[in-house]
Amino acid sequence: MAIETVNLKEASKLEIVSLMDNTVDFLSSNTRKEVQSLRHWTKEQYGTEWTQAHTELPFAEHGFCMLVRVFRNQETCTILFDTGISSNGVIMNAKRMGIDLSEVSYVALSHGHYDHFGGLHAIIEAVNKIDLPIITHEDMIKRRGTASLNGDIREYPPFPNLKQLTPAKIVNTKKPHLIANDLACITGEIPRKVTFEKGLMQNKIYNDNAWQPDLLVLDDRALVINIKDKGLVIISGCAHAGIINTIRYAQQITGLAKVYAILGGFHLAGKEFEKRIEPTIEELKKINPELIVPSHCTGWRALISIAQAFPNAFIFNSVGNIYKL
């Protein structure tokens, strides 16, 4: 089957704010000038260190959300990629960082697991825009769960009722989908080609009145931006498709080989997935990104291994980090 390509325009620059992740670290330093912790970038904004001006710190949860500002000359567009796990966690963190969510023009969901859409309803209310596009996949509204060893299904919290999402506009897509005046691309369904990037049999989806294996999590996608003179920036929610599959597909649909940065969940935690850490690192070495920010579901074993393999590219993500690329 022929791969559908897109004409992704070049962005002049990019800002990414970590609004929600599994970790917070407001004290550690880093050596990358493109990366600033909450204490430092808010000092520029407020004139004093954040902790001196405020009493409530942003917090972490087992969820994911990135605020993505894409720039082209005088044009700016803001995309919210995922919405965390709790109903109001992203809302509270944005408030504590001084971010007004009304700047958001698109909400894109990486896949239909509850730690990525939990704050959707509250965020739609906070953005408060008629026909705010919510970029989804038709599988996201289906019941999902995990099977235990005895076969019992632990069902996940459900996707919001579509009527609850008014006045937003649901945009379902399986194919690569350009947004933000063609400055950003949602990959759509990602082909599974890498031999070691297999799914998990315990994942379940309710189809045709029965629980069925959700091995592939077909609704898993990534957000892709192309920065002028730098290359692709790829943001993954969980990479259920496999982070290498995700990167390779982003290269294919854009026709661009250079990968500048990879951020987000790599899903290398858990006994089955930890076997994939070393082959993933070997493939990442071939891709050779300049910035690697594994987050959320990547797992501490993978974080340590990636940090050791890429000492100059690796950044430990924290809620509140800003990436100015």
CATH number of the domain at 66, please. Answer: 3.60.15.10
**5 inside domain:** no
Judged by DSSP in three states, 117 sits in helix
Q: Which residues of the chain have pLDDT under 50?
A: 52
Asked whether residue 1 is assigned to any structural domain, the reply reads no
Per-residue confidence (pLDDT) for residue 41, from 0 to 100? 76
Contacts of 180 (CB under 8 A, 6+ apart): 70, 77, 79, 105, 106
193, 22 Cβ separation under 8 angstroms? no
**Which positions ≥6 away from 148 have C-beta within 8 Å?**
154, 202
Give a yes or no: residue 2 inside a domain: no
pLDDT at res. 68: 98
Does residue 254 form part of some domain? yes
Indicate the number of domains in the chain.
1
- Position 81 in a domain: yes
pTM to 2 decimal places? 0.96
Which pLDDT does position 44 carry in this prediction?
Answer: 67
Residue pLDDT, tens place only, 179-213: 999 999 999 999 999 999 988 889 999 999 999 99
Report the chain's terminal Cα–Cα distance, integer Å: 34
Alpha-carbon gap, residue 15 to 105, rounded angstroms = 15
Does residue 184 sit within a domain? yes
Residue 45 confidence (pLDDT): 67
Domain with 122 in it? 10-324
Domain annotation covers residue 131: yes
